[in-house]
Amino acid sequence: MALHVMDEANHCLQCKKPRCQEGCPVHTNIPEAIRLLKEGNLNQAGRMLFMNNPLTTVCSLICNHENQCEGHCVRGLKGDPVHFSVIEHYISETYASQMTEGPAPKNGMRCAIIGAGPAGLTIAVVLARYGYDVTIFDAHDKIGGVLRYGIPEFRLPKSILDDFEYRHLRLKDIHVRPNIDIGKALKLEDLERDGYKAIFIGTGVWRPNTLHIKGESLGNVHYAIHYLQNPDVYHLGERVTIIGAGNAAMDVARTAVRHGSHQVTCFSITKKLAASDYESSYAQLEGVEILHNKKPLEILSDGVVFCDVEESEDGKLTPIPGSERKYLSDSVIVSISQGACTTLTDSTTGLEVSPSGLFATDEFGRTSRPGIFAAGDAVRGASTVVAAVAYSKKVAEAMHEYMQSLPKEEAADPYANVPVAEDIRIHAEATA
């Protein structure tokens, strides 16, 4: 592995104007990381990567490198680019096991993070570096959000997220409250009452978009976001039809193959796939069939009726009469992206949202309620992890600026003179 990594590093031209860095949404200093590695300063390179992107280990595995860093590499103009994903993963994974830095000195201010997905985790780490007392609330039992519950194990091992919780959260004294869906038992007003000076909302998009066609409620139909959360509980059968052809659809298809389905087909309504070439090529390599220009008309208990569509130069799709055909399948999975849940917005006044339920913010993540910020998929809809990290870093700085602008309060403890209750166990031992 090390030899392979160094081979890639040695291909780097150390460009004075690095196109690779320009192509990275978080502007990772790729030439510098490679230079440090080649000079034997792996830990320094790792620290630099994590300071720039707390999710660097994750991004090294699941980023769309072909369109970002590697897609902009000057070597790729005439041949193979430098595969920085391999280098980044080696540096970040090796350095992560040595991270032992504890929490920064507390500045006496408390902030809340709602949602432990990419946006929430990024902001939690950035604010903890400033010394804020950070608490993360998440509706799931473990951190990660879409990273844990929407990306298969073979693409992103859960051990990386478990290590993140230890290295970034526990060591930095960031509190996590799992299984808390803000908007139900606890509301935003409760957090404000308890002294959280700023609140970040990064609840993601967990409500699957629907087709609104006949047969969608039948027992053989499932949604991609639900299937990926726990594929072991589904029994899809031999033949699986997947309606949609984005990266999530490819994840579903490859997961279904690994769970014993032998005939898996993705149906795309357009000629060009929404999925990246990288993801679709892996799916096809593993036996997944992809059909183009197919529109679903009705779902049946034993398959789906599709018709062909004609695609004009301006992107308009027109069904072709007489092209209807039934494709047999045991199960159908709908994978046409997700929308926002409304648990939080339904229970909160003064939070403006778009017609689709996404939070309305300015460019720095400020919502219509002072002190409440939002970012990630809950603002922009389903997007990439690295895009969420890039935007969330800017929002974290805006939160820091906001909290520092608040009038300083005296940390008065109203119960300072209340006597401490005697430890019952000690008392029992003394009188035994």
Rounded CA-CA distance 81/84 in Å is 9
Per-residue pLDDT tens for 5-37? 999 999 999 999 999 999 999 999 999 999 999
Residues β-bridged to residue 311: 317
- Taking alpha carbons only, the member of 305, 242, 303 closest to residue 275 is 242
CATH for 210-336, options being 3.50.50.60, 1.25.40.10, 2.60.120.200, 3.40.50.300? 3.50.50.60
Per-residue pLDDT band for 259 (boundaries 50, 70, 90) equals very high
Q: How far is CA 76 from the centre of its chain?
A: 28
Q: In the CATH scheme, what architecture does the domain 110-206+339-405 have?
A: 3-Layer(bba) Sandwich (3.50)
Average pLDDT over residues 361-378: 94
Say whether 264 sits in a helix, a strand or coil. strand
pLDDT value at 190 more than 70: yes
Per-residue pLDDT tens for 226-248? 999 999 999 999 999 999 999 99
Rounded CA-CA distance 103/51 in Å is 14
Rounded CA-CA distance 293/309 in Å is 5
**Percentage of residues in the chain having pLDDT higher than 90:** 77
Rounded CA-CA distance 375/119 in Å is 7
Average pLDDT over residues 200-220: 95
- Per-residue model confidence (pLDDT) at position 412: 62
Average pLDDT over residues 346-366: 87
Rounded CA-CA distance 124/169 in Å is 8
Q: In the CATH scheme, what architecture does the domain 2-96 have?
A: Orthogonal Bundle (1.10)
pLDDT value at 431 more than 60: no
Rounded CA-CA distance 266/279 in Å is 13
- Per-residue model confidence (pLDDT) at position 101: 74
Contacts of 399 (CB under 8 A, 6+ apart): 111, 123, 127, 198, 200, 365, 373
Length of the chain: 432
2-96 and 210-336 agree in CATH topology: no
Rounded CA-CA distance 321/295 in Å is 12
Average pLDDT over residues 67-82: 93
Per-residue pLDDT band for 322 (boundaries 50, 70, 90) equals very high
Rounded to two decimals, what is the model's pTM? 0.91
pLDDT value at 427 more than 60: no
Mean pLDDT score of the chain: 92
Domain borders along the chain are: 2-96, 110-206+339-405, 210-336
- Per-residue model confidence (pLDDT) at position 425: 65
Q: How far is CA 378 from CA 11, 108, 359, 361, in A?
A: 39, 29, 6, 10
Residues β-bridged to residue 290: 266
Q: How far is CA 399 from the centre of its chain?
A: 21
